[in-house]
Amino acid sequence: MHHRFIRGVAAAALILVAGAASAQDFSAQRLSDDIRVISADDFQGRYPGTQGEQKTLDWLQPSMRPWGWSLADRTANGCRSST
């Protein structure tokens, strides 16, 4: 479970860094702030199928749109993927 948490935070950080780097406006402070936000207790662990997951997705999606990324609907096995 702890490894999932770390992977989730790392994935979110990579997404944010990739966008910032492509826009050439990378800021270590912004990255730190974003990680602090998404790892906060308010996101309730971000576990799939919970309110925390939906809150995380709502927070991430606006950051993904400029790159043309979007989140796919859940598949038959309950997983979600990005496109």
Tens digits of per-residue pLDDT, 13-51?
767 666 555 555 678 888 899 889 888 888 888 788 888
In this prediction, residue 78 has a pLDDT band, given cuts at 50, 70 and 90, of low
Euclidean distance between the first and the last CA atom of the chain, given in angstroms as a whole number? 25
Check if the beta carbon of residue 69 is closer than 8 Å to that of residue 57.
Answer: no
pTM of the model: 0.51
Cα 64 to Cα 46: distance, rounded to the nearest angstrom: 18
